[in-house]
Structure 1
Amino acid sequence: MKNTFLILFVIGLLFGCGNKELSHKETVTTYYKVFDSGDFEKLKTVIHDSITLISGDFLMPFDKDSFNEFYKWDSIFKPSYEILELVEDNDHLIATISQKNIRNAFLKNNPLKLNVRVSFTSSKITKLEELDYIDVNWKEWNQQKDSLVNWIKINHPKLDGFVNDLTMTGAKNYLKAIELYEGRE
């Protein structure tokens, strides 16, 4: 009987340790590391069943399947995320992020630095709200984007619309548009 109790205790201890809940900081750190690594299965462990991204006036609600499409879109640009700072703010976390990728490089703002308020439900991420950008040259960004969009519209109309297509195909078209635009002369 003693051995059975001891075995059950050890099994319970082992399984209990495996289910340790991550802190908010650990959850956010995992989230951004996973964006770098390309492991969506791991990402699913730190996001809630629904997640909302807020960027200015744009509200983008996702379930896990549709978020996987956004994740694929982001991955095409070969991102690299660095967490510069994590600050607890009541039930939220404010993350200062540096994001490098091919798209930001073309738009002349690489790395792109921003503050994001992260919200949680049951210790999983439910919302990421972009609060403000740090030292972003929006004039340069918009000039680059507008030049690219207008040139593609005239010279490669089949790719038109790439800038608003947040699917993997849209990201591939975005990269193709950049390649064509940069090779135009």
Structure 2
Amino acid sequence: MKNIFLILLLTVIFTSCGNQKLSHKETVNRYYKAFDSGDFDKIKRVTHDSITMMNGDFVTPFDNNNFYEFYKWDSVFKPSYKIIELTEQNNDVIATITQKNIRNEFLKNNPLQFKVKLSFSADKISRLEELEYIDVNWQEWNQEKDSLVNWIKVNHPNLDGFVNDMTLAGAMKYLKAIELYEGRE
């Protein structure tokens, strides 16, 4: 009888330890670590079935399939994410993040530092709202982007439109455009 009680007690303890709920800060940490390591399965574990990204007036809703497409677009540029600061506000987490990648390097703003508000539904990330960019030189960013876009239109029109194509194919064209532009004489 003692053995059965002991086994039941250990089962309850191990089961409850394995099902511990993550704090919102831990969830955000896991989200960015998964992005950084390139593990979409881990991203799915901490994100809701639907996720909305907000950047100013632009609101983009995603389901898991669409979000995977965004993830693939992002991963082409070989990103590296680092959390600088996390603070909780009510049911949200405000995160200060740095992101290094090939695109930001080309656009002369690497690393890109920004604040984002992450909101939760059923303890999973359901919304990311970009709050502000820190020390970003938008003039230089736009100058580099415009130079690239205009040069590609003239010299490689088959790649035109890459800058607004948020698919894997669009990211591959963006990367090719950067490579061709940097290799020009």
Q: Does TM, scored on the shorter chain, surpass 0.5?
A: yes
Structure 2 unaligned spans of 5+: none
Which whole-Å deviations, capped at 9, do the CAs of 1:61-95 have from their partners, x for residues lacking one? 11111111111111110111111111111111110
Number of equivalences:
185
Cα distance between partner residues in 1 of 2:82 and 2:90: 23
Q: Distance in 2 between matches of 1:38 and 1:15?
A: 29
Q: Name the residue aligned to 1:73.
A: 73
Q: Write the deviation string for residues 14-47 of structure 1: whole angstroms up to 9, x where unpaired.
A: 1221111110110101111111101111111100
Structure-1 residue corresponding to 2:41: 41
Equivalent position amino acid for 1:65 in 2: N
| Equivalence for 1:129 | 129
Partner SS, residue 141 of structure 1: helix
> Equivalents in 2 of 1:182, 1:104: separation in Å?
14
Look up the match of 2:182: 182
Q: How does 1:115-126 map to 2 (within 5 A)?
A: 115-126=115-126
**Secondary structure of the residue that 2:99 maps to in structure 1?**
strand
- Aligned residue type for 1:60: T
Q: Normalised by the size of structure 1, how large is the TM-score? A: 0.97
Asked if 1:86 is matched to 2:82, the reply is: no
* TM-superposed deviation, 1:8: 2.4
Residues 88-108 of structure 1 deviation map (CA, whole Å, 9 limit, x = unaligned): 111111101111100000000
1:8 correspondence with 2:8: yes
Quote the residue 1:95 is aligned against.
95
Letter in 2 for 1:24: H
SS in 1 for 2:35: helix
Query: Which residue type is aligned with residue 183 of structure 2?
Result: G
Equivalent position of 2:21 in the other structure: 21
5+ residue gaps, structure 1: none
1:12 & 1:158 partners in 2: Cα distance? 61
Output the CA distance in 1 between the equivalents of 2:41 and 2:12: 26
Corresponding position of 2:139: 139
Determine helix, strand or coil for the equivalent of 2:49: strand
SS of the aligned residue for 1:45 comes to helix
Q: TM-score, normalised by structure 2?
A: 0.97
Identity %: 69
Deviation of the 1:5 alpha carbon: 3.0
Q: Does 1:149 align with 2:149?
A: yes
Partner of 1:111: 111
Partner AA of 1:105 in structure 2: E
Q: C-alpha distance in 2, partners of 1:12/1:156? A: 64
SS at match of 2:22: coil
